[in-house]
Chain A
Amino acid sequence: MMKLTGLAFAAGLATLMGSTSMAEPVTATPGQAVNAVLLPKFLGILPFDQANRGAQEAAKELGSTGTLEFIGPTPENSAAGQIEMLTNATTQKQNVVMLSNNAGDQIAPAAEAAAAAGTKVVTWDSPIPNGAGESFFVAQVDFGSIGTVMADMAYDLAGGAGEVAILSASPDASNQNAWIEAMKQAMTGDKYKDLKLVDVVYGNDQSEESYNKALGLVDKYPDLKVIMAPTTVGIVAAAKAMQDEGLCEKVKVSGLGLPAEMVSYSLNGCAPQFALWSFVDLGYLTYQASYALATGAIKGEVGEEFTAGRMGTFKIEEDPGRQGAKRVLMGPFTIYTKDNVEAAAN
């Protein structure tokens, strides 16, 4: 009996020690050789370029003696190109690949092969939906809270009641789909009972498709008050469409947009409110986390904490949106209006 208690006590102590040592945030030793690849959905648009700027900044600060390559497919070849590039990075024995996934679960086998060959896969911006092969996901914001923010913006712009429609990117973009789900969830709350979500359409991150879909929405729903576009391409296209048709007084556009692209529409009232986080910070944090993972400072287990340079301490936790997957939560995001959009645009 006594023995058992002693054992239990020892075990308890060990657990306690274990957990205290886990709770101590680790700092990766700078100056090690980490060969890393930053792999965006595709090359050539501003958000991914900003993420690269952040990652390069972090790599410089950590003094990695390895390489940091910013490579990605061209836009017309996004999904297939990403899978190919991930496979190539594995063959090249890169230490870590930072991936903004645009290939849904199709990329999971390539990610699992990479992990098995010793190339870690850290996702950012857009995760692998089933989590297979990925060490963890660096989430820009809590996907649930983004739903609430979008619901709140819609609520404000519609004046508390009326019809709302969503203009998304592609039907299989896992981040957008998660945000739309979260927004629907948020809108079940009593506050939003007079808001009606009438439709979800997809512009596939193409300006002409998004533009035509936005016009289709206003034709189809004559009482529509808000178009919510959780995509930087969609929101600009929708705002331009409303402006061209002189509908800005009637239908407001909102969602997630880049201040640099949205300035004129915020100032002229077509898109009075929209939100976004910093892609520079997202790239910075992703590199910090990937460096810590590749150097073995962290293992990628739930509960581990690590320091990420100027951004402070972060923790690996269960991803509430994807069962069995892990995430590092960045947050927060900024809501832009005519008062702060100009300053952020430059």
Chain B
Amino acid sequence: MTLLTRASPQTLRLLALGLALLATILFFATQIEGYLSPRMFNRISTSAAVVLPIAVGQAIVIMTRNIDLSAGSVLGVVAYMAGQLLSANPDLHPILAVLFCMALGAGLGALNGLLIAWGRVPSIIVTLGTLALFRSFLVEWSDAKTITTASLPQWLVDLPSANAFSVGGLDIRVTVLLALAAVLVTGLALTFYRPARRFYAVGSNPDAALMAGINARRTVLTAFILSGAFAGLSGFLFLAKFGNITVVAGLGYELKAIAAVVVGGVSIMGGSGSMIGVLMGALLVDTIDNSLTRWAVVSEFWRDALLGGLIMAAVTVDTLASRQLTRLRKGGTQ
């Protein structure tokens, strides 16, 4: 008990999340034949890898007490245009291709950031607008053509099944590693790099941040640029994994990302959250989703409702548990 009461609320929240993830896995292991297998690990890890970068970007934006609804459209635009670029220049170096995706995403994110920080328009309005705007641009730009796997360079087609290394029979794919790198770099920066702490400062108390000499506008702009860049990285992974890109690419991904972020314990009121939480949130949502698809008990129509219910349950349990523990802790110190 003393251990529990001494831990910070953030740690307790992660603990609760980890328990929820464990419970989910154990439950489905009793329900689905061959659930605890390397194959299932691959299914979930590669599918979560596409959502992870976009969720990381979304988390940074939400920490600053904003929201980026346009991220899914950014993903679509980037996946499509990168596909076009690679069809036309198959010899382009893979690193340059990834950089192109992130730069294009960052550019679109900068547009959001400028309107929000300097135009003083609420982020929910601006990004709701650019959600439609970027998607409409893609519809015009694509001229109804599909990017097909056949037109992409071979290295990109092979990328999703490429293995980085194996641990105890579990394959860690290159795409998974790329997504984890995004989480790790951002996580380290948020913990140890002073300028990155400004995201928390601006989100938890904008006025105080201003008093402390933090340039709130520039911080918000940076958050949106990063969100765009990470959505661009997700766009690259999306292109690699699905190969066939139409104008519907990435539709609804902003909501998947927000779900992962919120389940991962990033406060929608800004100012708090961690990358390890986002990672666990994305894993939990994806595990539930992928498991329900394979669970014979629920029909197709109840799956979405159940997923929504489980997400709400996860958040409620998490909130109640951390409130209870905070109270316990207060009781302990008195």
Q: What is the interface of chain A, defined by CB distance below 8 A to chain B?
A: 42-46, 48-49, 74-77, 171, 200-202, 205-208, 211-213, 215-216, 219-220, 233, 236-237, 240, 244-245, 258, 260-261, 263-264
B43 contacts A263, CB within 8 Å?
A: no
Cβ-neighbour of A263 out of B143, B144, B150, B160 (below 8 A): B150
B207 contacts which chain A residues (CB < 8 A)?
none
Beyond A171-B301, A206-B252, A212-B290, whether A44 also contacts B247 by CB under 8 A is: yes
B243 contacts which chain A residues (CB < 8 A)?
240
A207 contacts B290, CB within 8 Å?
A: no
Cβ-neighbour of A207 out of B150, B244, B294 (below 8 A): B244
0/1 interface trace, chain B 220-259, chain A, CB 8 Å (1 if under): 0000000000000000001001111111110110000000
| B50: nearest chain-A partner, CB-CB | A208
A206 contacts B47, CB within 8 Å?
A: no
A240 contacts B244, CB within 8 Å?
A: yes
Total chain B interface residues with beta-carbon distance under 8 A: 41
Q: Tell me, in angstroms, the Cα distance from A237 to B47 when the chains sit together.
A: 14
B246 contacts which chain A residues (CB < 8 A)?
44-46, 207, 233
Give the Cβ gap from A156 to chain B, nearest Cβ, in Å: 25
B296 contacts A220, CB within 8 Å?
A: yes
Q: Tell me, in angstroms, the Cα distance from A263 to B238 when the chains sit together.
A: 21
A208 contacts B244, CB within 8 Å?
A: no
Give the Cβ gap from B237 to chain A, nearest Cβ, in Å: 11
Q: Tell me, in angstroms, the Cα distance from A245 to B242 when the chains sit together.
A: 13
Q: What is the interface of chain B, defined by CB distance below 8 A to chain A?
A: 34, 39-40, 43, 47, 50, 131-132, 135-136, 138-139, 142-146, 148-150, 160-161, 238, 241-249, 251-252, 289-290, 293-294, 296, 300-301
Give the Cβ gap from B108 to chain A, nearest Cβ, in Å: 16
A43 contacts which chain B residues (CB < 8 A)?
139, 144, 247
| B40: nearest chain-A partner, CB-CB | A219
**Known interface pairs A75-B139, A240-B243, A264-B149; 10 further A-B residue pairs with C-beta atoms within 8 A, sorted by A's residue number:** A42-B248, A46-B144, A76-B131, A76-B135, A200-B300, A201-B300, A207-B248, A233-B246, A236-B244, A240-B149
A211 contacts B247, CB within 8 Å?
A: no
A219 contacts which chain B residues (CB < 8 A)?
34, 39-40, 43, 294
17 examples of A-B residue contacts, CB within 8 angstroms: A44-B248, A46-B144, A49-B143, A75-B248, A75-B251, A76-B252, A207-B245, A212-B47, A216-B290, A220-B293, A233-B248, A236-B148, A237-B244, A240-B243, A240-B244, A261-B146, A264-B150
A260 contacts B148, CB within 8 Å?
A: yes
Q: Tell me, in angstroms, the Cα distance from A215 to B27 when the chains sit together.
A: 21
B146 contacts A75, CB within 8 Å?
A: no
A74 contacts which chain B residues (CB < 8 A)?
132, 135-136, 139, 247
B150 contacts which chain A residues (CB < 8 A)?
263-264
Give the Cβ gap from B162 to chain A, nearest Cβ, in Å: 11
B149 contacts which chain A residues (CB < 8 A)?
240, 264
A208 contacts which chain B residues (CB < 8 A)?
47, 50, 238, 241-242
The DSSP consensus for interface residues of chain A is: helix
Cβ-neighbour of B242 out of A200, A213, A237 (below 8 A): A237
Q: Tell me, in angstroms, the Cα distance from A205 to B249 when the chains sit together.
A: 10
A202 contacts which chain B residues (CB < 8 A)?
300
Q: Tell me, in angstroms, the Cα distance from A272 to B145 when the chains sit together.
A: 23
B242 contacts A75, CB within 8 Å?
A: no
Q: Tell me, in angstroms, the Cα distance from A215 to B202 when the chains sit together.
A: 43
A205 contacts B244, CB within 8 Å?
A: no
A45 contacts B144, CB within 8 Å?
A: yes
Which residue, of A42, A216, A258, has the highest number of chain B Cβ atoms within 10 A? A216
Give the Cβ gap from B309 to chain A, nearest Cβ, in Å: 19
Cβ-neighbour of B293 out of A46, A213, A237, A263 (below 8 A): A213
| B138: nearest chain-A partner, CB-CB | A44
Q: Tell me, in angstroms, the Cα distance from A149 to B286 when the chains sit together.
A: 36
Beyond A44-B246, A261-B148, whether A206 also contacts B160 by CB under 8 A is: no
B244 contacts A45, CB within 8 Å?
A: no
B161 contacts A207, CB within 8 Å?
A: no
A207 contacts B242, CB within 8 Å?
A: yes
| A213: nearest chain-B partner, CB-CB | B293
| B39: nearest chain-A partner, CB-CB | A219
Q: Tell me, in angstroms, the Cα distance from A44 to B245 when the chains sit together.
A: 11
Give the Cβ gap from A48 to chain B, nearest Cβ, in Å: 7
| B148: nearest chain-A partner, CB-CB | A261
A75 contacts which chain B residues (CB < 8 A)?
135, 139, 247-248, 251
A48 contacts which chain B residues (CB < 8 A)?
144
A44 contacts which chain B residues (CB < 8 A)?
138-139, 142, 144, 246-248
| B72: nearest chain-A partner, CB-CB | A76
Beyond A44-B247, A208-B242, whether A171 also contacts B142 by CB under 8 A is: no
Give the Cβ gap from A233 to chain B, nearest Cβ, in Å: 7
B161 contacts which chain A residues (CB < 8 A)?
244-245
